[in-house]
Every structure is written in C-alpha cells, then in structure tokens.
Amino acid sequence: METNQNTEVLCLEGLKKSFGDLLVLDNIDLRVTKGETIVILGASGSGKSTMLRCVNFMEVPSGGRIILHGEQVGKENQNGSRTYDEKSLSDLRSRVGMVFQHFNLFPHMTVKQNVMEGPRTVLKCDQAECERRAKLYLDKVGLGWKADAWPSELSGGQQQRVAIARALAMEPDIMLFDEATSALDPELVGEVLETMKQLAEEGMTMLIVTHELGFAYTVADRVLFLSKGKILEQGAPEAVLINPKEEATKNFLRGHGSFRLPEPNLD
Amino acid sequence: MDYQWDFSAVVTYWPVLLVGLKNTIILAAVCLVLGLFFGLFVGAARYSSNRLVNWPATAFVEVFRNTPVLVQIMWFYFAFPIISPIEVNAFTAATLGLTLNTVAFSSEIYRAGIQSISKGQWEAAKALGMTYTEQMRRIILPQAIRRMVPAFTNRAVELVKMTSLASVIAYGELMHQAKTISIIAFNPIEMYTSVAIIFFVLIAPLSLLVQRLEMKKRKSS
Amino acid sequence: MGYEWDFSVVFGNFDLLLLGLVNTLKVTGLALFFGIPLGLVLALMRLYGNKALRWPAGFIIEFLRSTPPIAQLFWFFFALPILLGVEIDPFSASVLTFSLQSSAFFAEVFRGGIQSIDNGQWEAAKAIGMTRNATLQRIILPQAVKRMIPAFLERAIELMKTTTLVSTISYSDLLYQANTIAQSSYRTLEVYTTAAAMYFVVILACSLLVGRLEHRLGRSGEITRG
Ligand SMILES: Nc1ncnc2c1ncn2[C@@H]1O[C@H](COP(=O)(O)OP(=O)(O)O)[C@@H](O)[C@H]1O
Ligand SMILES: [Mg+2]
C-alpha cells in the first residue's frame, strides 16, 4: 500500500478568500487523493466557482495554504504572506486543468490548434508531440474527426468536449469542472457528462461543480455541500444526497426536484 | 537642450490671443448650431423614399464626407467667390466650409440614431393614430436624440479642432493670432506650445465627456 | 452665371497634381507605418502598464486627440527645430506629426478592440498556463485585429484628409500643388474643384471599401468601433 502522503494530489488548508469586505470562502479544508472524483454542490453564490478558481490561482486566495503534490504554491515573505510570480503560477496552471461553463474555445483556431496551443506555447513541446497529444485527446473525447473544424462549426456539446480535450492535453494532475454543462441545451448535456464519467473511470482526479445530481450520485466518490463559503456537509453520495443531515442541504435538494435516483437493480 | 524658455511675449500679447480665442469660439458655435440644425433636414431627406429628395441629399453628404475639410475651406475662399453673388470673406468661407461639413456628418448621426429605434416604436405610435410628423417628433426623436448625444459631442470636439484651419485663410482665430505673434516676437516655441495648451484646455473636457457618455451608453446596452 | 469654365490649365498641369497626390499618399502611408505600431505600444501601456506607464500614455493620447493637428504640425515644424537646434524639413515634420497624431487614434482603436474580446478568452488561456504576453500575442490580438480592420481603415481615411495640412508648411502634396497652380494661373475655380474631385475619388473609393468590409465582417458578427 502507498502511504496517504504519496497519493494526495491536492490539499487545501484553511483556505480563505474575500472580495473587499465580502468573505466568500471561509476556512476550507480539503484533501483530495489520486483518482478521486469530488462533486461540489451548493446554492448560487455559495462560493463554488471561487473555490475552484482559487485552486489554480485564477483568484489569489486571501489566506490559507494550497498544496499541490506536496508543494506549496508561491514564495513565502518574511511576514508570512506569499507572493506569486507569473512563472510559478503558469507552471501550476499547466498542471491543473480547468473547464468553464462557457467553453471559451479560441475562435480563431481550429479544433486541433485549440488543443495544441497549451502544449506548444506553455509546455514548449515539439510539433510531433503536439500532434500526438491533439490526436490522443481529441479521440478520447470522441472528436478526432472534427480536428480541422472551426469552433463555430460545432454544437455546444462538441465545443465543451474540445475544451475538455484542450485541458487534458496539458496532461494535468487534476481537472476542475465549473458547471461544465450549465450552458448547454438539455439534449447536449449527456455527451459531456458521459465524457466526464469516462475520465473518472480512467482514474483522473477531478473536482466538479455541477447541478446534475444524478451524475453526482453515480460518478462521485465524495460529495461536498458548500454553504456561505463553508463546507457544511460532506461524505459519500448516498449519505449527502439521500440522507442529508443539515437543514440547508435538505432545502437545496428539495429545490432540485427533478433529481431521481437510478432505477433499483432487480436482477 | 539648453533652450531658455521665455513666455513673456505670451503675456504681453495675451489680449491678441484672447481675440483669437473669442473668434475660435464664435466660429465653432455658429457652425455647430447651423450644422446640427440643417443636418436634421438633410438626415430626414436621406431617409425619404422619394428619390428626388434623397439622391441630392446623399450626393451632398458623400461629397462633404469624402473630401478634406481644408480643401472645402480653400474652395469656398478661393474658388467660390468667382461664381458667388455675394462677397466672401474669410469668416464666410470658413463658416460655409465648416457648417456644410458638420451638416454632412451630423445628418449621418441623425440617420443612424433614428434607425436604431426599433420598428415597434413607430408602429405603436402609428397605432395611436399619430401622423408621421407626430410619430417622429413625439416618439422617435426624443429617444433617438438621447442616443446621439455622444456622437454630437464628438462632432463638437472635431469642430473646435477644425476651426484652427481657418488660420490658413487668415481668419483671426487662435491659431492665426499665435502665428502672427510668433513672427513678431520671434517666439514660435512658447507661442505654439501655449496655443496647443489653450486648445487642449478647451477640448479635453469635451473629449472626456464623450468618453463618459460612451461608457454609460455601453453599460446601459 | 456668365462664368466661362476653362480647364486647360488643369490639363496642362495634371502631372503636377498627380505628383501631389502621390506625395499625399506617401505621407499618409508613412504615418500609418509608424503610427499603427506606436498606437499599439501606447494602447498596451495604457491598458497593462503600471502607473508610471499608464499615466503618461493616457496623457499623450488625450493630448494628441484634443489639440488641432495644425497646432501639432506647426509645433514640430517651427518650434521643435529651435528647441533641438537641428533643421527639420517639411517632409520629416509632416511624417513625424502625423505618425504621432494617428498613433493616438490607433491606440484608442486597439484599446477598443482588445477590450471587446470576451474575458473568457483570457481565462481560458490563463487556465492552461499561458502568460499574459503569450495570451495577448496568440489569443487576444489575432481576434481583436480582425475586428478592428474597418476602424483602422476609417482612421486611415481620416488621416489622408488631415494630411492636407502639410501644404501649409510647403510640402508639395495635392493641395499644395493646387495652391501653386491656382495662384499662378488665376483659374482658382477649376483648379480647386479638380483637386477636390481628385480627393473625392480616392477617398470615396476607400470609404466604399470600408463599407464592404464592414458589411462582410458585420455579418459574421466580428466588428467593433474604435
Ligand atoms: N471577482 C469578484 N468580485 C467580487 N465579488 C465576487 C467576485 N467573484 C465572485 N464574487 C462573489 O462571491 C460570491 C461567490 O461567488 P461564486 O464563487 O461565483 O459562487 P457560485 O459559483 O457558488 O455561484 C458571490 O456573492 C459573488 O457575488
Ligand atoms: Mg459559479
């Protein structure tokens, strides 16, 4: 057996974030082990996006520690605060993949160029390696055949899968999904969730913000419920989704009436 | 650079500059008022479906938008008097050139502004039984003009800058006065620096206003 | 009106007018050549510089936009040479003035174009670890420039019109040639009308081109104004 230390990919300790006077994240502690799929739930404004964005320093935390593979990000100053230079942040972000609600593909590049952009510009891979990764990860999301298309020629679901391939091409240690299906027409949600599920099965470490409770139930190893910037409740999907302890969690789940448990297995 | 700046002549000739400033403001104000006034009619004419009305208006606008304003002023000063029944002095020529130029540009602003109002507004007004003129005056223009304010302010900025061109035909506005003084007092550096600063002080507030208005417009839309 | 039109002096000197037109295009072209990159630099300073860059850039842009070009030209032609103790010929003064003058306007076009790009593009590039410079170069500017093309051309047309000012410091552009011919022939009406017509043809052709482009880009929803 490996020790916990070796399999821990990400560790948040007392993570705090405020915007001016508004405290958005309040002492978040979280340990994520390799291959774990964690779904984060919470009402709008509870700080889910901010939490993900702190992990790859799209937002600089106001306090606490973020440890990726045993290394703390940034340099410590004498007074205990930390500074983050562009190089180390770029380095961190290249190891943390992120997928947004609004795919944000680069419209002036083809699908393949989108996927190759990170390996080329950030990782300085040679052409052959960029091509290899583009092919590999586009095939993985089932879009190898669209390699030469422009983003505007794809459906929303396809665009989001390209965005996933673009993040995967960096071969990150962990993937973050911020409401990756919220901007999609209902009939396109399935293909993206399917891709995410496949990644989970292949052992990718993932932090997923979603409102798809059915997906959370079947795919998550652990579910967190965030309320007012705190982790109010966490545990196995059955525990949090079926038998929530906290009133706020119950209210939240009541608001998502369309959530139905998977059919019981009767054979 | 060991040049010794000496602004004393600027102080000595201040009254002369003041006359220039006054003339600059008069020229700009006259052309702005006339330009915006007649611009509305030309804009309306371009909007008309009658070709006899809209073609000449279009030709006028295109000619004045697609030739340099200095050429327009020179034309009115040197060429126009030959066929003109009236005396053309520098002020008249500058006023003609700058006014017609402003008419052409502002007519486009009116047109764009009116076109930006949705069809539904015309229809709603029509459904109330208003005539075309009433629809225009009571419903469309009040909405459109609000949207046009930044563009008109911008026109005013351009116009104040353009008045300096009247110096080329020796109309005694700010630039011309400065040129004259600089020759008498041998101080082109101080003179042209001062005049640039005066223009800046005159125009910058308008410029900033345009930016404010545009930002507000962008936010509200 | 009893005036007898006589265009013979125009025909006789048409080569001079054409030469003037070439000189007009020369000053315009050079001012664009220097003004556009300089405008980009000013825009980047204003958008992303620290205070020591942002403020001067903002001031330079506002100053150049808020003073009449003729005042700038006279300053560079009559004042600057004394200040520096060197001679500056009309051509150099013209190119210098209009490069700087147009750079201020191009800076604003660049700024508008860059700011029009959705913030999600920055975020997506950041998320794969791209630095700000790389993002600007590879993601933002390529998209922004495409949207700015019509605004660029519009500014270029304005610039060409403004270069008529060089005639006032005796650089032989089209208007200067017209002045010369008109004064020596007394056929001011014909000469100035012809010069105006020549400007009209060139500028209208450019305007129509801009209109075309705007229409095409506008249809694909890729357009911003400067
Ligand atoms: N850049 C920002 N500046 C100021 N407030 C912000 C910013 N980003 C988020 N917030 C605020 O932080 C709170 C949490 O936002 P967010 O993390 O986006 O919530 P969620 O993703 O759970 O809906 C909200 O009240 C939001 O208004
Ligand atoms: Mg969110």
Residue in this structure with the two tokens 């040129």, named with its chain if needed = B179
Q: Residue B6, SS3? A: coil
pLDDT digits (tens, 9 = 90+) for A93-118: 999 999 999 989 999 999 999 999 99
Residue in this structure with the two tokens 């915006």, named with its chain if needed = B36
The confidence score (pLDDT) of residue A2 equals 45
Domain over B12-220 is classified CATH 1.10.3720.10? yes
Vertex A71 angle, CA A66 and A73, to 5°: 50
The closest residue, in CA terms, to atom 12 on ligand 1 is A24
**Would you call C188 and B68 a contact, using CB atoms and an 8 Å cutoff?**
no
Vertex C226 angle, CA B60 and B66, to 5°: 20
Q: How many helices (H) and strands (E) does chain C have?
A: 11, 0
Considering only CB atoms, which chain A residues are within 8 Å of C146?
108
User: Is residue A265 a part of any domain in this protein?
Assistant: no
Phi-psi region of A204 (alpha: psi -120 to 50; beta: other; left: phi over 0): beta
Nearest-angstrom CA–CA distance, C221 and C226: 16
Q: C71-106 burial string, b = 16+ CB within 10 Å, else e? A: bbbbbbbbbbbeeeeeebebbebbbbbbbbbbbbbb
The closest residue, in CA terms, to atom 1 on ligand 1 is A19
Domain carrying residue A101: 8-74+82-256
- List per-residue pLDDT tens for chain C, 226 residues long: 578 888 888 888 899 999 999 999 999 999 999 999 999 999 999 999 999 999 999 999 999 999 999 999 999 999 999 888 899 999 999 999 999 999 999 999 999 999 999 999 999 999 999 999 999 999 999 999 988 988 899 999 999 999 999 999 999 999 999 999 998 888 889 999 999 999 999 999 998 888 888 888 765 545 444 3
List residues of A whose CB lies inside 8 A of any C CB: 56, 58, 86, 89-94, 96-98, 100, 102, 104-108, 117-118, 121-122, 163, 166-167, 170
Tally of domains in chain A: 1
User: Is residue A264 a part of any domain in this protein?
Assistant: no
**Would you call C66 and B195 a contact, using CB atoms and an 8 Å cutoff?**
no
Considering CB atoms only, which of B3, B196, B203 is closest to C75?
Answer: B196
What confidence category does residue A254 fall into, taking pLDDT thresholds of 50, 70 and 90? confident
Distance from CA of C118 to the nearest CA of B (A): 15
Contacts of B129 (CB under 8 A, 6+ apart): none
- Tell whether C161 is within 8 A of chain B (Cβ): yes
CA of C116 to the centre of ligand 1 (A): 23
Nearest-angstrom CA–CA distance, C62 and C65: 5
Whether A contacts B, i.e. 3 or more CB pairs less than 8 A apart, is no
The confidence score (pLDDT) of residue A266 equals 52
The strand pair at A82-83 and A75-76 is best described as antiparallel
Among A18, A19, A39, A58, the mutation site with the greatest number of ligand 1 atoms within 8 A of its Cβ is A19
Among A60, A86, A106, A152, the residue to mutate for chain C (most C Cβ within 10 A): A106
**pLDDT lower than 70: segments of chain B:** 1, 221
Ligand nearest to the CA of A178: 2
Among A22, A58, A182, A209, the mutation site with the greatest number of ligand 1 atoms within 8 A of its Cβ is A22
The confidence score (pLDDT) of residue A76 equals 77
Whether A contacts C, i.e. 3 or more CB pairs less than 8 A apart, is yes
Nearest-angstrom CA–CA distance, A267 and A123: 50
- Cα A63 from chain centre: 21
Q: What are the boundaries of each domain within chain B? A: 12-220
Contacts of C201 (CB under 8 A, 6+ apart): none
CB B46, CB B111: distance < 8 Å: yes
Q: Which amino acid makes up residue B142? A: P
Tell me the torsion sign for CA atoms B93, B94, B99, B104: positive
The closest residue, in CA terms, to atom 24 on ligand 1 is A45
Nearest-angstrom CA–CA distance, C155 and C106: 7
What confidence category does residue A262 fall into, taking pLDDT thresholds of 50, 70 and 90? low
Nearest-angstrom CA–CA distance, C223 and C116: 9
Q: Which amino acid makes up residue B69? A: V
Among the ranges given (A79-83, A245-249, C11-15), the one the predictor scored with the smallest mean pLDDT: A79-83
Among B67, B153, B187, the residue to mutate for chain C (most C Cβ within 10 A): B67
Residue in this structure with the two tokens 């007012």, named with its chain if needed = A228
Which residues form the pocket of ligand 1, taking CB atoms under 6 Å from any ligand atom?
A 19, 22, 24, 42, 44-50
Tell me the torsion sign for CA atoms B53, B104, B68, B24: positive
Task: Put the strands of the sheet holding A8-19 in their side by side order.
Answer: A22-33, A8-19, A63-68, A71-72
Domain of C149: which CATH number? 1.10.3720.10
Task: Put the strands of the sheet holding A174-178 in their side by side order.
Answer: A96-99, A174-178, A206-209, A37-42, A222-227, A230-235
- The predicted model gives A237-263 an average pLDDT of 80
Kindly give the residue spans of alpha helices, DSSP state H, lying in chain B. 8-12, 14-47, 51-65, 69-74, 80-83, 90-115, 119-127, 132-134, 141-163, 174-185, 188-220
Residue C171 DSSP one-character state: -
Which chain A residue lies closest to C133 (C-alpha atoms)?
Answer: A86
Residue C67 DSSP one-character state: S
Which chain C residue lies closest to A115 (C-alpha atoms)?
Answer: C128
Which comes out higher in pLDDT, residue A27 or C222? Answer: A27
As a three-state string, the secondary structure of chain A is: CCCHHHHEEEEEEEEEEEECCEEEEEEEEEEEECCCEEEEEECCCCCHHHHHHHHCCCCCCCEEEEEECCEECCEECCCCCEECCHHHHHHHHHHEEEECCCCCCCCCCCHHHHHHHHHHHCCCCCHHHHHHHHHHHHHHCCCHHHCCCCHHHCCHHHHHHHHHHHHHCCCCCEEEEECCCCCCCHHHHHHHHHHHHHHHHCCCCEEEECCCHHHHHHHCCEEEEEECCEEEEEECHHHHHHCCCCHHHHHHHHHCCCCCCCCCCCC
The closest residue, in CA terms, to atom 8 on ligand 1 is A50
Residue C50 DSSP one-character state: -
The closest residue, in CA terms, to atom 4 on ligand 1 is A19
Whether A241 shows a pLDDT value over 70: the answer reads yes
Instruction: Indicate the Cα dihedral angle C161, C167, C173, C174, nearest 10°.
Output: 70
List residues of B whose CB lies inside 8 A of any C CB: 1, 3, 62-63, 65-72, 74-75, 78-80, 82-83, 157, 160-165, 167-168, 175, 179, 182, 188-189, 191-193, 195-196, 199-200, 203-204, 207-208
Structure-token pair, residue A152: 């505007």
The closest residue, in CA terms, to atom 7 on ligand 1 is A19
Among A115, A117, A120, A173, the residue to mutate for chain C (most C Cβ within 10 A): A117
Domain carrying residue C149: 8-218
User: Is residue A133 a part of any domain in this protein?
Assistant: yes
Contacts of B71 (CB under 8 A, 6+ apart): C164, C175, C192, C195, C196, C199
Q: Residue C70, SS3? A: helix
CA distances from B159 to A160, C19, C21, C96 (A): 51, 30, 26, 24
Tally of domains in chain C: 1
**Would you call A108 and C130 a contact, using CB atoms and an 8 Å cutoff?**
no
Whether A267 shows a pLDDT value over 60: the answer reads no
Report which ligand 1 atom has the smallest distance to the Cα of A44. 23
Which chain B residue lies closest to C60 (C-alpha atoms)?
Answer: B200
For residue B99, which of B34, B13, B152 has the smallest C-alpha distance?
Answer: B34
- The predicted model gives A36-48 an average pLDDT of 94
Structure-token pair, residue C167: 């005639």
CB B88, CB B81: distance < 8 Å: yes
* Residue A177, beta-bridge partner list: A99, A208
User: Is residue C226 a part of any domain in this protein?
Assistant: no
Q: Which amino acid makes up residue C226? A: G
The confidence score (pLDDT) of residue C213 equals 83
CB C114, CB C141: distance < 8 Å: yes
